[in-house]
Amino acid sequence: MRLVVKGLASIRSGRPVFSGLGFEVESGEALAVTGPNGVGKSSLLRIIAGLLPASEGQFLLEGSDAETPLSEEAHYLGHRDGLKPSLSPFETLSFWQALLGRPLVDPSNALIQVGLGHAAHLPSAYLSAGQRRRLALARLLVSRRSIWLLDEPTSALDAQSEGMFNGLVNEHLTSGGMVVVATHTPLGFSTRSLVMQGGA
């Protein structure tokens, strides 16, 4: 499969954020989107995920089922972890698996993979910032999606957790997945780079 973006533009509150953006990502590839704050890295990911409209341009996933929207082939992980404090990590992942469909990894096994097996049934309110981020990353594992759209995914992670995250990404890429990641920091896996300048 191939993610193709052509002539993409974003206007927010009447202000041009970016325009004329184009790139391609093949199966097994990761694209690191870099650039200063405010150039539209988060907006780009949210547009591809179907959470924001594009002002111009097009994006499509070549080689996928024509009946499946691109947004249903993508996992989006943003700045916010999207956790309900009263739910346990197991309940959280079970909810997301039921909502997203296409089960991949059992929630219990996903928690073990991110080092949270011991906290599976604690309320998420008791988790540290790093543990909450690892729980958010575990959402990537419970439902099958070809594209991972990751916005500063290593925030709040310590060195050991970053190593775990890099391993998960490499497994996804090896299985033919794609990753588009907005980041300000170096990553522990191979990427191509897209430097966004912003503006029209």
160: helix, strand or coil: helix
Looking at residue 75, which CATH number applies to its domain? Answer: 3.40.50.300
43 belongs to a structural domain: yes
- Asked if residue 20 is part of any domain, the answer here is yes
Q: Residue 66: what pLDDT?
A: 67
Question: Cα separations (Å) of 129 from 80, 81, 123, 156?
Answer: 11, 9, 14, 6
The confidence score (pLDDT) of residue 57 equals 94
Q: Which amino acid is at 139?
A: R
Count helices and strands (H / E) in the chain: 5, 8
Q: State the pLDDT at residue 200.
A: 45
**Strand pairing category for 2-12 and 56-62:** antiparallel
Range of the domain at 143: 2-195
Burial class (CB in 10 A: 0-12, 13-18, 19+), 61: buried
| Percent of the chain with pLDDT strictly greater than 70 | 98
Give me the number of domains the chain comprises.
1
In a domain, 200, yes or no: no
pTM of the model: 0.92
Q: Average per-residue pLDDT in the chain?
A: 92
